[in-house]
Amino acid sequence: MRILLVEDDQGLAEALQQSLIREGFVVDHVSRGKLALTALAVPSHDMVILDLGLPDLDGLLVLKEIRAKKNDLPVIILTARDSIDSKVKGLDYGADDYLAKPFDMQELLARLRVIERRLGTATSSLITIDRVSLDTKAHKVYLLECEGAIEQPDINEVHFSKKEFMVLKVLMENAGRIQSREQIESKLYQWGEEVLSNAVEVHIHKLRKNLPDKFIQNVRGVGYIINHPQH
Amino acid sequence: MSIRRYLVLTLVAVLTLITFIAAIQGYKASMSRAEKLFEQQLVDFAHIVKGLHQTFDTKDQQFVALNEQTSFAFQVWQGERLVSQSANTPTKPIMSLHKSPTHFGEVNFSGQRWRAIYYTDNNQLNAFKGKGNSLVIIVAQPLKKQFLLAQEVILAAVTPMIIAIVLLSLLIYGIITQGLKPLHKLTSALAKKRSNDFTPLELNVDNSELSRVVTTLNQLLARLNLAFERERHFAADAAHELKTPLSVLKINVHNLSQELNEQGHNHPENLIKPLTVSVDRMGHVIDQILHLNRTNPEQINQSKQPIKLQTLLQAVIGDLYQDIANKQQTITLTSEELLLMGDELSLHLMLSNLISNANKYTPQQGEIKVSTKYIPNGNNQRDSQNKTAQIAIIIEDSGTGIAEEEYNRVYDRFYRVGGDQHDSSVLGCGLGLTIVKHIVDIHGGNIVLSRSTLLGGLRVEVLFEQNLDQNLPLDNSKLNSPVSCEEKTDNKDERD
């Protein structure tokens, strides 16, 4: 995947480039907003990592410009500005995701992978967490059985309904981040599904029955989460 | 006391006092003048009586009794004999007979007190000396009559003065009110101004003193505004300047660890861990210092709006969940969707500091409970008439808590519980509760620390006054119903 990195700080740009290249991305770096717009005039990039504090043109304006051209290029915003206000603004302007400096590289990579899968440019459409694998393209869920030998584990497909699959996909794509009931509901709405008031609870109940214990965790009063195995 | 009241009251008081002193002086002077006038009148009357008596035959000793009622009374004596008298006099001499030519005196007869004059013709007295038939005229006028007359005259002179005082008072009031109008306009313009409003006063005053004040005030406001802007930009600039290098550091640490991993280094985390911890700590301190500077009352008051508390709490817990999961702690949120008037950014900061503290000072597998409570008629003693509702946010944990004697110190800048003995493995810089207290104060709330009876650790209760207008789209009381059902589904979920 080819990423355009728009960042005026040379040190940060170099470090990011190094990290991203190590992860197998192709990175082009520009340090000015105008240069970014010129570079994007030719559709050669798959996504943009955009710093908001640019010396010549505000990052939000760059984003606005990109969206004004009906370009649905995924954009992740990086900013040192204060969290909520810029976040809301950035997302209003059509950013796909948002990271406040200083951020963890792991976090940025996780978000890049979500976008990668969405674009279908990922080498694998498989998200694997713990013993559960989810194929975002084939709409299938696999469960690795513990009893099998490590070299040749038993892989069983678990059947879920379309809606259940969607709920699981939301949770697995956002592993490590709590998804509130409202957030999951709004995702279901996005896919044009009718959502009953307790639909999410029913789906989660069904998912939990067929997945390993404590795979989907409930944070009472807040929402649901699937944790990264390393944590 | 307002300038207007002071001026009106003192001026009217002084005016009244001086007028009354003048009136009393005038009364006294007029009275003595009137007395003289009456005496003169009596003397003149006596002369007339004498003249009349001499014109008519005096040798015939006739008795003249005047029957008409007059305010005067008189007696004419020839020696020991009453020659003539007015009807209102007795037949005895109304005044003892003196030898002196003229004599004034006060006498009683006919049931009244009279002022009388005793008058003898000196020439005649000499001519008939020894014969004992000198002519004596006594004229009297009732005192009451005299007094009433004098009073009438004086009153006629004083009454306009009293009316003048009333009129003058009204005039003074009007003139002072009119004169102080520009000042009054300035005061009300300033009173209407919010503390964070630095726009110049738009006030047209034509008097030179006040227009100078307005100009100076406007200049001051402009300078304040500039300083305020500068301060805000400084914070934002500082954030940018410090956060970007920190990001560079963080990513380079990540790159380094990857590099070490690839080179097959044994236990690279031993080398990397201290670095990551220090970088995180630095980031935390920078964040907190900036937060403390950024939460100034002007800005917070400016951006107050109704905040959905439950959504906010969910977001805060969501942000902190990795830390909570890392320590395998259980966190529960028991809340209803309440609307709270406040600044979202600073409330987010406050809650995140409180919950993060609970996370930090609660051991592995501990428990954290976050709940909200709507208190319809707050037991707020300050204004029990208003009965403002209150919203409580309660955060409890199963940690070691804070000793009671330290409750007051924890809000101090850079103070950490236990002082130097503070567990340095816990990330922090002693600014968290300072920021929390600051934000609570700006929102006019209250923060209470106690020991949690439920979990045994610290219990933090933050109370805010529910200061929303009725005309807002969401009403807290209406929001209560769907919550209970959510609770139920949640419980059911737990049992699965």
Q: For the segment A141-186, what is each residue's pLDDT rounded down to a tens digit?
A: 888 876 555 556 677 888 888 888 889 988 988 888 888 888 888 8
Tens digit of each residue's pLDDT (9 = 90 or more) over A91-104: 778 888 888 888 88
Distance from CA of B314 to the nearest CA of A (A): 5
Indicate if the pLDDT at residue B368 is higher than 90.
Answer: yes
> Taking residues B58-73, what's their average pLDDT?
61
Q: What is the pLDDT of residue B174?
A: 93
* Residues of A with Cβ-Cβ distance to B323 under 8 angstroms: none
Nearest-angstrom CA–CA distance, A75 and A63: 8
State the Cα–Cα distance between residues B133 and A37, nearest whole angstrom.
144
Stretch B379-388: mean pLDDT, rounded? Answer: 53
Please list, in sequence order, all residues whose beta carbon lies within 8 angstroms of the beta carbon of residue B283, skipping any fewer than 6 positions away: A102, B243, B246, B250
Q: Is pLDDT of B394 > 90?
A: yes
Taking the Cβ of residue B278 and every Cβ of chain A, the question of whether any pair is shorter than 8 Å is answered with: no
pLDDT in tens, B446-455: 999 999 888 8
Dist CA B105 CA B114 (whole Å): 8
B140 pairs with which residues across the strands? B73, B116
**Interface probe with B: pick from A6, A51, A78, A84, most Cβ of B within 10 Å:** A84
pLDDT at B64: 57
Chain B residue numbers touching A84 (CB-CB < 8 A): 344-345, 348
Distance from CA of A209 to the nearest CA of B (A): 8
Residue-averaged pLDDT of chain B:
79
More confident residue, A133 or A228: A133
A218 touches chain B (CB under 8 A): yes
The DSSP-derived string for chain A is: -EEEEE-S-HHHHHHHHHHHHHTT-EEEEESSHHHHHHHHHS---SEEEEES--SSS-HHHHHHHHHHTT----EEEEESS-HHHHHHHHHHTT-SEEEESS--HHHHHHHHHHHHHHHT-SS--EEEETTEEEETTTTEEEEE-SSS-SSS--EEEE---HHHHHHHHHHHHTTTS-B-HHHHHHHHHHTT----TTHHHHHHHHHHHHS-TTSSEEETTTEEE---TT-
Q: Give per-residue pLDDT as tens, B457-476.
A: 899 999 988 765 543 444 44
User: Does A221 touch chain B if contact means CB atoms closer than 8 Å?
Assistant: yes
Residue B130 has pLDDT above 50, yes or no: no
Distances (CA, A) of A201 to A208, A210, B28, B443: 10, 15, 104, 37
Q: Could you tell me the pLDDT band of residue A4, with boundaries at 50, 70 and 90?
A: very high
- Tens of pLDDT, residue by residue over A131-142, are 888 888 788 888
Yes or no, beta carbons of A101 and B332 under 8 Å apart: no
pLDDT of amino acid B91: 75
Name the least confident of A57-71, A189-203, B173-187, B398-412.
Answer: A189-203
Confidence of residue A194 (pLDDT cuts 50, 70, 90): low
Instruction: Categorise residue B110: left if φ over 0, alpha if ψ from -120 to 50, beta otherwise.
Output: left
What does the pLDDT average to over B6-31? Answer: 90
pLDDT of residue B480: 42
Range from B62-66, B284-288, B394-398 carrying the lowest mean pLDDT: B62-66
B328, pLDDT greater than 70: yes
pLDDT at residue A213, as a whole number = 82
Q: What is the pLDDT of residue B485?
A: 36
% pLDDT > 70, chain B? 81
Q: Which of residues 333-352 of B touch A (CB under 8 A)?
A: 333-335, 344-345, 348
Q: What is the pLDDT of residue A3?
A: 92
Lowest mean pLDDT among B214-218, B236-240, B437-441: B236-240
For position B59, what pLDDT does the model report? 55
Task: Determine what percent of chain B is predicted with pLDDT higher than 90.
Answer: 13
Q: What is the mean pLDDT of residues B338-355?
A: 88
List the one residue out of B321, B329, B318 whose CA is nearest residue B368: B329
Please say if the pLDDT value at position B194 is more than 90: no
Q: How would you class A116 by CB atoms within 10 Å of its CB: exposed for 0-12, middle for 13-18, buried for 19 or more? A: buried
Higher per-residue pLDDT: A4 or B195? A4
* Lowest mean pLDDT, pick from A33-42, A119-128, A222-231, B376-385: B376-385
Q: Which of A76, A78, A82, A179 to mutate: most B Cβ within 10 Å?
A: A82
Q: Is the pLDDT of residue B125 over 50?
A: no
CB pairs under 8 A between A and B: 120
CB B392 within 8 A of CB B462: yes
The predicted model gives B370-395 an average pLDDT of 73
pLDDT digits (tens, 9 = 90+) for B67-93: 556 677 888 887 777 777 777 777 777
Contacts of B385 (CB under 8 A, 6+ apart): none
What confidence score (pLDDT) does residue B175 get? 92
Average pLDDT over residues B116-122: 76
| A80, A209, A223 ranked by CB distance to B240: nearest | A80
> Is the predicted pLDDT of residue B486 greater than 50, yes or no?
no
- Whether the per-residue pLDDT at A90 is higher than 70: the answer is yes
Q: How far is Cα B261 from Cα B268, in angstroms, rounded to an integer? A: 7
Residue of higher predicted confidence among B139 and B101: B139
- Which tens digit of pLDDT belongs to each residue from B218-259? 899 899 888 877 876 776 677 667 888 888 999 999 888 888
**CB neighbour list of residue B187: distance below 8 Å, 6 or more residues apart:** none
